[in-house]
Amino acid sequence: MGLNPDRSDVIVLASEIFLKTLSWSGAKVIYVPKMGLADGMIRELYYESLQ
């Protein structure tokens, strides 16, 4: 699956959240972005610094 060993502490908890979200919403699929929140914040700060 390509899971990072350094993220092993959150895999089970994240899976639980995704499964509960699917159940609650009735959705069949959850799309997860490859870019995380920290990546987006860094990108935003970078672009702001260019202005």
Could you please report the per-residue DSSP string of 28-45? S-----SS-HHHHHHHHH
Q: 3-class DSSP state for residue 9? A: helix
Q: Domains of the chain: which residue ranges?
A: 5-50
Return the structure tokens found at 6: 């350094």
Q: What is the pLDDT of residue 1?
A: 61
Structure confidence by residue, pLDDT tens digits, 6-50? 877 888 888 898 899 999 999 998 887 777 777 888 888 899 999
